[in-house]
Each structure stands twice: as C-alpha cells, then as structure tokens.
Structure 1
Amino acid sequence: MGERVLSVGQLAKRSGVKVSTCHFYEEKGLIYSTRNTGNQRRYHPEILRRISVIKAAQKLGVSLDSIKAAFATLPDGRTPTKRDWQQLSKRWQQELDERINALQRLRDSLDGCIGCGCLSLKSCPLYNPEDSLAKYGSGPVILDQRHK
C-alpha cells in the first residue's frame, strides 16, 4: 500500500481553507502537489503544516512574498519544523515591529491632514499650492513619507 496522500478537497477541509486557496498557494509556489495516474492533484500530509504556517504568518500580517522567501530558505523545500518556525518568526519580528510603529504614528496623526493633495481643506497645515505634491506621485504622498 502506498503513502497516504490527500486530494485537494481533503486538504482544504483539513486545513480550513477553500479549494481555490489551495490552488492559489500552489500557483504561488507556497505548497506543492504530485499527480496521480488520473492527473489529479495529491498532497502529502506535511502540506497541512505548510498551510498552517502560511495562515499563522498571514494573521501576523506577513505577506505571501515574504512567506515564500522564508520557505525558500528551508533545505530541499521541506515543510517547516517547530525549530524552523522559531527561526522564520524571528525574521518577521523586525518587519512587524516596523509596521506596528508606522501604525502607531498613523493612529496618532489621524486627526490632521493626510497630505492627499486634494486642495480642499482651507485649514490644512500641509496645503498643496499649485499641486506641488504631484511631482512626488499620486495619493497621500506626505502621509506615505511620514509613516515610512
């Protein structure tokens, strides 16, 4: 009898994500499957752990690109172990600390001008005469600069 594998439906049910999410993760190179003789995807049970790591990292605000880059550091594309998770999460702590600091600065300045360049607020301390901010890009360019 061969090694136990999961269909995409079984993987989705066990991991708590939709089938389309499994396909999306595979398309992005975050998980991988094999094909059976009927050309149907089959997943090794260890992929459940990969999806758990993806979901946990996403809840922390880690991007899929960052998760993929972290997975790429694992030997032979293996599924993260507990020790691997500890190392991966340390890498993301600085990124998360920076995001927390930016969000705190944003929270503390929400009552002021966001530097959107709209020219509509007469009392805006960052009034944008002659649309001088246009050379820096579209949207809230001052806000973006202030919160980096």
Structure 2
Amino acid sequence: MGKIDPADVGRPLTVGEVARRSGLAVSALHFYESKGLIRSVRSMGGQRRYGRDVLRRVAIIKVAQRIGIPLAAISAALASLPEERTPTKADWSRLSRLWRAELDDRIAQLTRLRDQLDDCIGCGCLSIDACKLRNPLDQLSEHGSGPQRL
C-alpha cells in the first residue's frame, strides 16, 4: 500500500474509486444510488462524487444482502442513520440487533420446513390436496376442489 496523501483525506471519491475499494461493480453502485441506499453529488463536470462515508454504508449493504435482508429493510435501516457521517460501531450494533430477530425467525421457518420435509419423504404422498409442502396454506381447499373464487 502506498502512502496516504493528507490532501486526499477529505476529498470525495469517484465512482471508480468506490467500486475498487468496495469490490462492487460501478453498475451496482449506480443501482444502490437509484434505490436511495447511497448518495452522491455531481462535480462541475457532472460526474458522481461520493463522501467517504459511502464505503461503510456499502459494507453494511453487502453484509445485509449476504444474510438475506431485503433491500427495502436495508434502505429503512440506512435512512435511520445520520447523513454525512460514517456509520459507527454503535450504529452497526443497533442495525444488527434488528436483523438478528429477522434471521432467528427465518432460521425457525427453515427448521420447520426441514422437519416437514423429513415427514413428507416418509409418507411419500406428495399429494396436492394433503401435502403441506406441495400446497402450503391452501385454505380454499376446505371448500372443495377446483376454482373457489369466481
């Protein structure tokens, strides 16, 4: 690694610099910006410039996506953070607590699904009428076969 020029510390980053430092494609950064997850300003020449806080925000987005958090939830979480400030460890702790509950729910759902799958293989029916995996939550089946909403 090269030396850091003190004059560069407060300088906004180009989209290429953010892409290189975050490991994301430029198109992904443009997509995140179009969804309001990150923000840029335009230079005199019309080019995007990002504050350095965007690197931490992009890291949060990447981690959240990796664990399966929907973009809408990520957007809401990022909106709760102060603008123009790099998210802190305390910010991350608060966000991760929110997402931990969602992950716990998803783990419980997957565990139930796994357990039902074992039962389904055991019965061998795979019936569209009776199988909770093949036809989950089919409440209209109680009213008979065929279309029930006309």
Q: Distance in 1 between matches of 2:138 and 2:107?
A: 15
Tell whether the 8 Å contact from 2:51 to 2:84 is kept in structure 1 after alignment.
no
1:96-115 map, 5 Å: 96-111=103-118
AA aligned opposite 2:125 = S
The one of 33, 37, 40 equivalent to 2:44 is 37
TM superposition score normalised by structure 1: 0.75
Name the structure 1 match of 2:125: 123
Query: How many positions carry a matched residue from both structures?
Result: 130
Question: SS of the residue aligned with 1:42?
Answer: strand
Q: Give % identity.
A: 52
AA aligned opposite 1:99 = R
Q: Distance in 2 between matches of 1:48 and 1:62?
A: 19
Q: Distance in 2 between matches of 1:11 and 1:47?
A: 8
Q: Distance in 1 between matches of 2:138 and 2:103?
A: 17
Question: SS of the residue aligned with 2:117?
Answer: coil
Tell whether the 8 Å contact from 2:14 to 2:49 is kept in structure 1 after alignment.
yes
Name the structure 2 match of 1:142: 136
In structure 2, the gaps of 5 or more residues are 1-6, 140-150
Q: CA deviation at 1:45?
A: 1.3
Q: Distance in 2 between matches of 1:33 and 1:144?
A: 47
Q: Distance in 1 between matches of 2:101 and 2:79?
A: 19
In structure 1, the gaps of 5 or more residues are 114-121, 130-139
Name the structure 2 match of 1:64: 71
Cα 1:127–1:30 change in 2 (3 A) is: closer
Q: Distance in 2 between matches of 1:143 and 1:6?
A: 50
Name the structure 2 match of 1:91: 98
Name the structure 1 match of 2:144: none
Larger Rg: 2
Q: Distance in 1 between matches of 2:97 and 2:59?
A: 17
